[in-house]
A and B are shown apart, each in its own frame.
Chain A
Amino acid sequence: MSDVQEKPKRKRGGSLVSRVQRSWSDSVLSMIGRSSLLESGEEPPVVLAPPPPPTPQRPPQLVQEVSARMLTFDELADKIGHRPHKDRLGGHWKRSTEYKAVRAEITAVNTLSAASLVDGDLDGLDGQLDALIAAAGRYRAQHKKNNDKTGAADDVVASAQAQKLALAAVRADPAFDQVKHHITLKQAIECKQRGMAFADCRFDLYNDTNAEEVDDAFGSGMANSVAKIEYANGDTLVFKGERVSDEGVQLSAASAIGIDAKAPHNGNRNIATLAVAELLGQPIVPKVCYGMHTNPTTGEQEIGLLMTMAPGKTITTTDPVTGVKKRREMWPPGNPPSATAQAKLMEQLTSLDWSDVITGQMDRHGGNYMVDINGDEVTVTGIDNDVCFGAQQTDPNANKGQYFSRTTPPGMPPLIDKKVYDRIIASDFDRDLRPKLAALMTAAEVTAAESRFNLSKMHAAGLHPEYVVADWTAWRSPAPAQLTAKAFLKAAGTGVGSDKSGGLFGRDFAAAFEREGIL
């Protein structure tokens, strides 16, 4: 596994290292199968995981907690007003004074929160929410015997209290200035309902004023429809509206790992996935941030996730009518990828496998990643990174037996790219991931991620050195089998009906390689 490269040599001596220490280091190097960088050429030094990042500009954790109970402004108004009164009088609905007071306070809340964030009266809104809470209390007292009405009043109070928390989170967000000119107070509160940090919001760049061309029917998966937007600055991005709640539409794979349907915070899961991919040093998921786009159906401005466009195509397509998945041809028959492309394909697919076990990705079916093969160049991109980072998945080594609806290949990846191995071994959860994840998800979700990360790291260490692949073309499995990487991954299996597999390559490419005679 020592692929020797020519490198400028460094002279021995003249350093802080004593003779005894040098001889210790020489013998330890030989024990671990390395040679000295001081004497002979060696592979380039590993770029260590970056030094502890300064704690990112994130808002306090409380934003994670507020969303479940929070009603939208319209729902708030509906709670009190949607039931027609029975006793009609002179053509007018007869309403109590207390009812009218609650309506008036809700209207005032609405008016105040329609202001732009920069001009908004945050103190005024906070006071107004207090007034609403008081009015709802009086309404409740007036209707003690009516369960519908006391229930509605309680909901209004709970929601107003949640709005106050969200408002506090808006104020406390260190990146407040980045968004204040671009959204209303109401939208700022909506961001907090979705668990968003303003640091991740680029409403300044990505709004419909800056959009030059929009394709609202660009793509649609099982759960979402997505738009493709070309911006004035030349960026072409994919927009996916961020729902407050997934109640009624949540995938069972998501509930299986404990994602709260009332506060799914899917966008944040995509951002967290990018953090893991960056830690592994592999650009295998889109770059992401939040932006704004008008929903073509409702005509309303929506907050949503913007992703860089992944090149190529998904492995499978889903028939929109029957729901049947079909495999695509990833290259014209008789014209298979070059040896270089094959190596890159294996490197990137296994790297996505590693990222997926660390993030606890549950939904990596063939429609949720894209592959582009163009001559010797290959790009693998995992899209739709919503169903991951569940609090209930602490073991990275998961399969369909545990989670029936899981579509990610089962088991731990049996091979690891050397660059990824080096990054994982050199990394530290507390230093490299915890600070990023802490503001994106609940404490329990961070704890589960820590467990998956550390177990994955241990699995990687266990693969060392025979299954750490520096060169995907030259690598052979240990004697006597001496399989190539592609044959080894194929032998590891498709994962169907099994608790282990050869990852995405084993499931989605090995058979096609065999058909083409390139296995």
Chain B
Amino acid sequence: MVGGSPVAGSEDQRQWCIRVLNLDPAGASGNRGEPILGVWRDAKEAVDARLEALGRTLRGLGDPDLDQIAQYGLFGLTGGGQTVALMAALQDYDRAAPADRAAAAAAVGKAVGAYRAMLHSSPLAEALDDNPFGVEIGLLDTMDVAFRQIITAIR
């Protein structure tokens, strides 16, 4: 799903790109930009903060069932086994030597695909996004924005 990484041109070509296009082709292919693990982590933290707010709301109602949900339901979704695989792939990519970056990018693509499939088929994710307690979670949207950013970065 990831196109071949741009062939590094001559240093002259690179300088031209920087001057005229305001874009560094060497940087575009990897670890010059923001680490992609950070992109994902920011999104996850944003979502977790909102899930925590939902948790607080649930707990505040003094209802044993809502208490149960506050404890079990929320964190698992963004912290499960898929997450560990995804984090590993993102981290590998950030650390990859230039020669290994294409392979690492392919692995990221796979991990992101699997993670998105998990999220989008999760009734729980949908339920959290649609919770009737007035707490905006935006789980699927926030994650998708991050994933688009990641996929753009590794192209």
B-contacting residues of A (Cβ < 8 Å)? 10, 15-18, 20-22, 24-29, 31-32, 34, 36-38, 42, 45-46, 48, 422, 425-426, 457-459, 461-462, 464
The 7 closest A-B pairs by CB, nearest first: A461-B79, A37-B64, A31-B124, A32-B73, A20-B132, A462-B81, A25-B65
Q: Does B13 contact A (CB under 8 A)?
A: no
B-side contacts of A462, CB under 8 Å: 79-81, 83-84
A-side contacts of B80, CB under 8 Å: 461-462, 464
B-side contacts of A26, CB under 8 Å: 65
Distance of A464 Cα from B77 Cα, bound (Å): 10
Interface residues on B, range: 20 to 34
Distance of A36 Cα from B80 Cα, bound (Å): 23
Would A464 and B76 be within 8 Å (CB), given that A15-B63, A28-B124 are in contact?
yes
Interface residues of B in 98-130 (CB under 8 A from A): 123-124, 127-128, 130
Would A37 and B76 be within 8 Å (CB), given that A20-B132, A31-B123 are in contact?
no
Distance of A464 Cα from B68 Cα, bound (Å): 15
What is the CB-to-nearest-CB distance from A52 to chain B, in angstroms, rounded to a whole number? 13
Do the beta carbons of A458 and B83 come within 8 Å of each other? Answer: yes
Would A17 and B66 be within 8 Å (CB), given that A24-B127, A458-B84 are in contact?
yes
What is the CB-to-nearest-CB distance from B60 to chain A, in angstroms, rounded to a whole number? 9
What is the CB-to-nearest-CB distance from A297 to chain B, in angstroms, rounded to a whole number? 52
Q: Does B1 contact A (CB under 8 A)?
A: no
Q: Does B72 contact A (CB under 8 A)?
A: yes
Task: Classify the interface of chain B: helix, strand, loop or mixed.
Answer: helix
Q: Does B61 contact A (CB under 8 A)?
A: yes
Distance of A422 Cα from B63 Cα, bound (Å): 18
B-side contacts of A29, CB under 8 Å: 65, 68-69
Which single residue of chain A is at the shortest CB-CB distance from B122?
Answer: A31
B-side contacts of A18, CB under 8 Å: 132
Do the beta carbons of B84 and A32 come within 8 Å of each other? Answer: no
Distance of A451 Cα from B79 Cα, bound (Å): 15
A-contacting residues of B (Cβ < 8 Å)? 61-69, 71-73, 75-76, 79-81, 83-84, 123-124, 127-128, 130-133
Do the beta carbons of B72 and A34 come within 8 Å of each other? Answer: yes
Distance of A459 Cα from B80 Cα, bound (Å): 8
What is the CB-to-nearest-CB distance from A484 to chain B, in angstroms, rounded to a whole number? 22
Distance of A36 Cα from B133 Cα, bound (Å): 19
Which single residue of chain B is at the shortest CB-CB distance from A22?
Answer: B65
Which single residue of chain B is at the shortest CB-CB distance from A21?
Answer: B132
29 A-B residue pairs with Cβ-Cβ distance under 8 Å, sorted by A, are A15-B63, A16-B61, A16-B62, A21-B133, A24-B130, A24-B132, A25-B66, A27-B123, A28-B69, A28-B124, A31-B123, A32-B69, A32-B76, A32-B124, A34-B72, A36-B65, A38-B65, A42-B68, A45-B64, A45-B68, A48-B71, A422-B71, A425-B71, A461-B76, A461-B83, A462-B79, A462-B84, A464-B76, A464-B80
What is the CB-to-nearest-CB distance from A20 to chain B, in angstroms, rounded to a whole number? 5
What is the CB-to-nearest-CB distance from A4 to chain B, in angstroms, rounded to a whole number? 14
Distance of A45 Cα from B64 Cα, bound (Å): 8
Query: A25-B66, A29-B65, A32-B76 given. 8 additional CB < 8 A pairs?
Result: A10-B64, A24-B132, A25-B69, A37-B65, A458-B79, A461-B75, A461-B83, A464-B76
